[in-house]
Each structure stands twice: as C-alpha cells, then as structure tokens.
Structure 1
Amino acid sequence: MTAPLEQRAVAELMTRDLLTIAEDESVLMAWELMCKADVHHLPVTDVEGGFLGVVDAQTLTSAWNVTAPREARRPVTTLLPSRRPAAVRPQAAVAEAARAMLEAGWDYAPVTDEHGALVGLITAHDLIAALAGVHREIRPRTGGMPSLYRVEPVLPQPPAHPGHSE
C-alpha cells in the first residue's frame, strides 16, 4: 500500500534530470532553452555548477521587453529572485515541500542534498500529477550534470533592400 501523498518522500515525485543554464548566459538563451525543451523552470548554476536559483516562465515573460531587444542579451541572473528559494531534501515529506512553495509564493521548490547541491526540482505540476494518480517513471540519476545542447539564439535582422549592398 502506498503512503498518502502528503507523507510520501519528495524524491518519489521530483524531476531529477534537469536542464540548467549557466549564470553568464542571456535572458534570450533562457527563453530559447525553455521553448525548445518545453520546460517552465530553469535552474541557474554558477561556473562550478553550484545552484544559484530558478528562473521560471512567468518571471521570464513578465520581464520580456519587446521594444528593447538588447535587454534580451542581459545575464539570466538579472531575473533571479532577490531571495533564494527555500530548498527541501529528497527524503522530506511532500507536505513539507508544498508548505515551502506556499510560503515562498512559488510553484516549485528546489531539492538539494546535505551539501546544498541541486539534485532535483519539485513543482506544483508534480504534485497535481501525483494527486491525479498519474505515475511517471523516475529514472535514477546517471551522475554528473544532464546533457545540455547549446542553442544559439539569433535576433531577427531587417531585410536587405534590393540594389543596396551591406
């Protein structure tokens, strides 16, 4: 018999294989990665792979300024919240993660090990899926950071006029 949802361990529901973005990448790169990978949360890491925070789709879209394309080139760290999200441990009860999300006002909670290293992310979507009885296979972590394919965003250029050379 499975334990009630609120008593289950966060490790049973969290996403382990995370797509991350480096702190020196641009807001535009974050947008591209989220769109290409169809994710709503993008953990940001420092040069050593340390966890800095999470950029979510809501923050990204609310900060997007169509009239200032150069703003898209600013570092993704400019979108990180001023306070770090309250992290939970993999062995914590799901109820603890839900409380951390509610108290922070976010729809996610980072999951870190005893050294503060990011090992997963639990989201409101994960909680709703579990409540609905949707079970997904959670593969064991393969070690190291997940594969990250580099996407090079390109801002659109105005069309060239016929008869004019550049």
Structure 2
Amino acid sequence: MSTHPPLEQRTAAELMTRDLLTIAASESVLMAWELMCKAEVHHLPVTDDEGGFLGVIDAQTLTSTWNAAAPRHARRPVTTLLPDPPLTTVQPSTTIPGVARAMLEAGTDYVPVTNEHGGLVGLITAHDLIAALAGAEHDIAPRSAGMPSLYRIEPVLPSTASAHSGRGRMGPD
C-alpha cells in the first residue's frame, strides 16, 4: 500500500479519473441513458464532432428531466441537458480542497478537470473524494499519452427478423 500526503495537499491530477466514456453532442438523451446504464456510470462528458469538451450530463439531471409522456423528448440531443451557465472546471494542479469548493459552488457531485486550453483531461466525483478520504481510492494508471482515453459505445440493434421471432423477447447478445 502506498502512502500519500494528506488529502488537503493532494491535487486533482492525483485523484481524477482519466479513462472516460463520452457521448457526442449529436446523440440523444435516450442514448445517454443507455450508455450510463450499460457502463454503470453516473456522469457522461459531452464532446463535439472534433472531440472538444462541451460539458457533462449527469444521471440526476437526466432522470429529473425525463418525460415518459412525450417520447420525442428522449430523442432530443444531449446538449439540451447541459447547464446554461458556464461549466465549473478545475485544473490538474488544483488542490483537493479547491476541487471540493468547486463542487459546492457549482452544486454538483462532480467537477471536470481541464487543461489550460479547456480540453478535458479527467473527472473527479464526490465518490472519488470520499474514497480518497477513506483510503480506498482506485489506482490511477500512469499516463501514456497527452490525451485521456475517451470511449464511445455505439448501440447495435437486432435485425427486424430476429427481434420479431415470435418469442416475445430478444435472445442473448
């Protein structure tokens, strides 16, 4: 077990999650929900077509704005759920108390970590802070490149024939 300096002396770079699942700005709210469920995450950074960081969709916002009576709302772009005021971010060198203050001031349970050009380099959640405080933080892999690993999952829908085979449910993947 490695020893760390006191939490208040550590930086965002030491606690942030670097390997992030993202969603494209053109994707739907329904796709965001599917990604969160499949990946078991509560926060999805949103990127433009060039990979630029636009904001974060969180599960709380998604579920609080869900309208089952209007199915078309599920097809609207995820950008409709991004907050109007500019997103609060921190730099990798921000101390953990500064990260916690940023979360409190923004009223969120997460804060994106961006570089000096506004590019997303990581994300810190309240869970990360609590885990670090409890001494149970996850191991952060060393960086091998200048960019974080960003993943995008595409849904694969069954063909019409197999989806309507008369069994009443879809088979295994």
3-state DSSP of counterpart to 2:121: strand
- Scaled by the length of structure 2, the TM-score of the pair is 0.84
Q: 1:63 is aligned with what amino acid?
A: T
- The one-letter code sitting in structure 2 at the alignment partner of 1:75 is P
Structure 1 gap ranges (5+)? 155-159, 161-166
Residue 23 of structure 1: how far off its partner (Å): 0.4
Q: Which residue of 2 aligns with 1:148?
A: 152
Of the structure 1 ranges 85-94 and 142-151, higher mean CA displacement relative to structure 2 is found in: 142-151
Tell me the CA shift for residue 142 of structure 1.
4.4
Change (3 A) 1:32 1:75: same
The aligned counterpart of 1:60 is 62
Whether 2:118 is the aligned partner of 1:116: answer yes
Matched AA of 1:95: P
Q: Would you say the 8 A contact 2:128–2:137 is kept in 1?
A: no
Out of 46, 49, 56, the residue aligned to residue 47 of structure 1 is: 49
Q: SS of the residue aligned with 2:142?
A: coil
- The answer to whether the Cα contact below 8 Å between 1:17 and 1:141 also exists between their aligned partners in 2 is no
> Match of 2:9, as an amino acid?
Q
Report the more deviating stretch, 73-82 or 143-152: 143-152
Q: How far apart are 1:152 and its partner, in Å?
A: 4.8
Distance (whole Å) between structure 1 residues aligned to residue 80 and residue 31 of structure 2: 13
| CA-to-aligned-CA distance 1:112-147 (integer Å, 9 cap, x gap) | 011110000011000000011103111134445423
Which position in structure 2 is the counterpart of 1:72? 74
Mapping of 1:126-165 within 5 angstroms? 126-143=128-145, 144=147, 145-152=149-156
Unaligned runs of 5+ in 2: 159-163, 165-173
- CA RMSD between the two structures: 1.9
Letter in 2 for 1:121: L
Check conservation: 1:5, 1:94, Cα contact below 8 A. Answer: yes
Structure 1 runs of 4+ aligned residues shifted over 3 Å read 141-145
